[in-house]
Amino acid sequence: MFPLSLACSAEASSARSPSRLNPAAYATSTRRPLDRAVISKDLTVSVVVPTFNRREPLRRLLNSLERQHQRGARFETVVVIDGSDDGTEAVLTSLRPSYPLRAIFGPRRGAAAARNVGIAAAMGEVLLFLDDDVVSEDGLFERHLAIHAEDPLAAVTGKMAAPTGHAQPAWLDWEATMLERNYARVVAGRGGPGWWLFYTANASVRREQVIGAGGFDERFERVEDNELAYRLAARGLHFYFLPDAVVRHEPDRTFEAWLHVASVSGKNRVLLEERIGLAGASNIREDWRRRHRLTRALATLCVGHTNRTRFVVGALGRVIRGRLAPRKPRLLLCSAVYNVLYWNGVAKAMGLGSELWHRFVQNEPGLIAAEGPNAAKS
């Protein structure tokens, strides 16, 4: 048994010949037999897990990793405790896994900062990022490593599957449904597995590439994985989506926490576009116009109006949390509520009130320069 320990950082890198793999082919693949000759190459793996106050979900994850180790996967796990005060430390010290497990304790700084700490401490050539509320399924390591063994410039995203055996609250059901739609678009060939699909709940990349890109941007509370992936793409990395490299996502997010995620995601969307130099305001407008017209109408009604937003979210939230409405209407209401808060977050980050937001989405000439994304910095 390996005792729980702290670790200092050590760098490991690997140089291999350029890949002839086709990333798009993996996005559309079904479950493939594993090529043991490929995955037996001497790649070392570090699992990096940031955690905050998820003692029991973390225990489930670490136990699932034990099963993978017993089945032959070889890896170390670095858990970064990001200011937890729920007894996570006691859970970690009680475990006796057969794989090397190291824990790093620190103050609350956010998932991006916690992952950077884990990256610095990791000793593996390949980093496998997992969230603390997932459970690994068989073949996870082998399928990630099969790509990295052939392509040293790979950035691999596996699938997050919804939990089985019990119903989720409507807002978590909605999240899982939206994620499945994203996966389905990639598998159907309606958009390649690019940086926008790189989710660190289940993603892997060479450590040297992450360090070379500068690690995670710690200003982000959300979408920090997409922002890093954009920089990895700029370094020439190839993106893969593996629908058969699966973790089971078992979130415990409350309705209130989900509302917070919606608002913060909108704010961080603006920060993302400022940070990586996308098309800025024009790109946000395009996203807005792709939304359903009823969703846009409700968001327009609420953006910039605090009391109105509170009333709408409260009224729809009671239906969402209730048991009377069928599943489909509740999912539609989740979309409505999420979009109201998301676009409120976008408008606030851009420094736009209700009137300016209406003018902005109508694409009035001259408004971008005066009230565009950079206005939030002044």
pLDDT mean over 326-352:
93
Tens digit of each residue's pLDDT (9 = 90 or more) over 196-209:
889 999 999 999 99
Residue that finishes a domain, picked among 249, 282, 306: 249
Give every strand in the sheet of 101-106, ordered side by side.
101-106, 76-82, 45-51, 126-130, 202-206, 154-161, 238-249, 134-136
Residue ending a domain, among 222, 249, 276, is 249
Least Cα distance to 263 among 335, 360, 343 occurs for 343
82, 181: one domain: yes
pLDDT tens sequence across 209-245: 999 999 999 988 888 999 999 999 999 999 999 999 9
**109 lies in the same domain as 80:** yes
Q: Is residue 11 part of a domain?
A: no
The answer to whether position 8 is within a domain reads no
Residues 145, 102 within the same domain: yes
Rounded distance between C-alpha atoms, residue 261 and residue 318, angstroms:
18
14, part of any domain? no
Contact (Cβ atoms closer than 8 angstroms) between residue 243 and residue 156: no
Residue at a domain's end among 221, 249, 277: 249
Q: Quick one: 280 exposed, middle or buried, by C-beta within 10 A (0-12, 13-18, 19+)? A: middle
In a domain, 15, yes or no: no
- Number of domains composing the chain: 2
DSSP character string of 113-129: HHHHHHHHH---SEEEE
In a shared domain, residues 355 and 270: yes
Residues 56 and 152 in one domain: yes
Cα separation, 216 vs 210, in Å, equals 8
Q: Which 8-state DSSP code applies to residue 154?
A: E
Q: What angle do CA 153, 148, 115 make, to 5 degrees?
A: 80
Question: Do 260 and 229 belong to one domain?
Answer: no
The answer to the question of residue 7 being in a domain is no
Same domain for 117 and 173, yes or no, is yes
Angle formed by the axes of helices 111-121 and 224-234, to 10°?
Answer: 50
* Alpha carbon distance 33, 244 (integer Å): 10
* Domain assignment of residue 16, yes or no: no
Looking up residue 179, the CATH number of its domain turns out to be: 3.90.550.10
Does residue 6 belong to any structural domain of this protein?
A: no
Percent of the chain residues past pLDDT 90, beyond the cut: 60
* pLDDT of residue 2 exceeding 50: no
Mean pLDDT (the chain, rounded): 83
Judge if 79 and 208 occupy the same domain: yes
In the predicted structure, residue 313 carries a pLDDT above the cut 50: yes
Q: What is the pLDDT of residue 32?
A: 36
Q: Write down the pTM of the prediction.
A: 0.83
Structural domain containing residue 370: 255-377
Distance CA 79, CA 102 (A): 6
Q: 124 and 205: one domain? A: yes
* Domain match, 235 and 259 both: no
Do residues 217 and 267 both lie within one domain? Answer: no
**pLDDT-based confidence at 115, cuts 50/70/90?**
very high
Distance CA 278, CA 369 (A): 15
Q: What is the pLDDT of residues 66-85, one digit of tens each?
A: 999 999 999 999 999 999 99
Q: Determine the pLDDT at residue 233.
A: 92
d(CA 241, CA 183): 8
Query: Stretch 15-41: mean pLDDT, rounded?
Result: 40
- pLDDT of 293 strictly over 70: yes
**CA-closest candidate to residue 333, choices 255, 272, 235:** 255
Task: Say whether both 76 and 122 belong to one domain.
Answer: yes
Q: Identify the three-state secondary structure at position 91.
A: helix
